[in-house]
Chains A and B, each alone.
Chain A
Amino acid sequence: MVQFSQLRRFDTSFAAISDATRRGVLEQLGRADASISELAQRFDMTLTGMKKHVGVLEQAGLVTTQKVGRVRTCRLGVGGLREEAAWIERYRQMWAARFEDLDKIVEQLKQKESSDGRSTTE
């Protein structure tokens, strides 16, 4: 049974990764730590805009930041939360995509069954 606290934690994580830029930031930080200004540059955004995105990720525990001098460095959150939340979401998306195609197959087979059924009973 999934605990309520876990659900809440995941909800925050899912909201945080519902945005393409934030997912991109996570991918980027998965490769290397980066400063907010580096991220802003890479994603062609203002510093303020990137600060907001990083703030959301930080609240979800997906990213931690540390200010040294004038530079705030971002890195992936500790404890594997990023990996787990992102993995489960991608895993869900994989199955959801498969099942959308499977829906079509089921529909086709149902139609075939009903037309076969008619032809054999007639």
Chain B
Amino acid sequence: MDAVRPSEQTPQPVTTTDRHSEREVVVTRTFDGPARIIFAAWTTPELLMKWWAPASFGIRFLSCEADVRPGGTYRFVFAHPQSGEPMAFVGRYLEVEPPSRLVWTNEESEEGSVTTVTFEERDGKTHLVLRDLYPSKESLDEAMASGSIGGYPEQFNQLDILLKGAPDVGSARV
């Protein structure tokens, strides 16, 4: 079976998600802009704060620190109406190759994933591939069973996102 590679699809703002392997989840998306701009939006705290926690989440940034260089650390702190305590997400950047590649660890939990994002520019558009690689099948299964998404505990997602509206069924895996 010949599968169309994401980068060969017609660029359109469709977010796809797959469990690519026992311990890896992959997200793809195409953006209408050059890679250097997309890369800047992923690596500049002031810009990250404008999109990493969309209003529809009910989550609010309290602070965003990111020392974006190999070995540098980041710390994102959020508040949520359903949680009395602020939540911190922390980790380290492993690879920083502007404007095409960014790798960081997710260390708020012991079995956190390593996230790799690549930005591939073509004709002024940028195809993004994000891979969340967990240390083991068990750790990804565990994350799924707990309902935690991207480090956010279940209660942050269930009502705010799951019940936000009908998922885009037809385009979920174009």
Q: Which of B25, B40, B143, B167 has the most CB of A within 10 A?
A: B167
Inter-subunit contact A95/B166 (CB<8 Å): no
| Residue B15 is within 8 A (CB to CB) of chain A in the complex | yes
Contact code string A4-38 (vs B, CB < 8 Å = 1, else 0): 10010011001101111001100100100000000
Known: A27-B162, A86-B162. A91 touches B31 (CB 8 A): no
Inter-subunit contact B51/A102 (CB<8 Å): yes
CA distance A89 to B56 in the complex (A): 16
Partner-B contacts on A (CB < 8 A): 1-2, 4, 7, 10-11, 14-15, 17-20, 23-24, 27, 30, 80, 83-84, 86-107, 109-110, 113
| Residue B64 is within 8 A (CB to CB) of chain A in the complex | no
Q: What chain A residues lie within 8 Å of B166 (beta carbons)? A: 18-20
User: Closest B-chain residue to A99, C-beta based?
Assistant: B29
Q: What chain B residues lie within 8 Å of A27 (beta carbons)? A: 158, 162-163
Contact of A98 among B16, B40, B54, B144 (CB under 8 A): B54
Q: What chain A residues lie within 8 Å of B141 (beta carbons)? A: 80
CA distance A77 to B52 in the complex (A): 33
4 further contact pairs, Cβ within 8 A, besides A24-B163, A93-B167: A93-B164, A94-B157, A95-B130, A99-B29
Inter-subunit contact B162/A90 (CB<8 Å): yes
CA distance A88 to B166 in the complex (A): 14
Contact code string B55-99 (vs A, CB < 8 Å = 1, else 0): 111000000000000000000000000000000000000000000
Known: A94-B149, A106-B38. A101 touches B54 (CB 8 A): yes
Contact code string B1-27 (vs A, CB < 8 Å = 1, else 0): 101000000000101111110000101
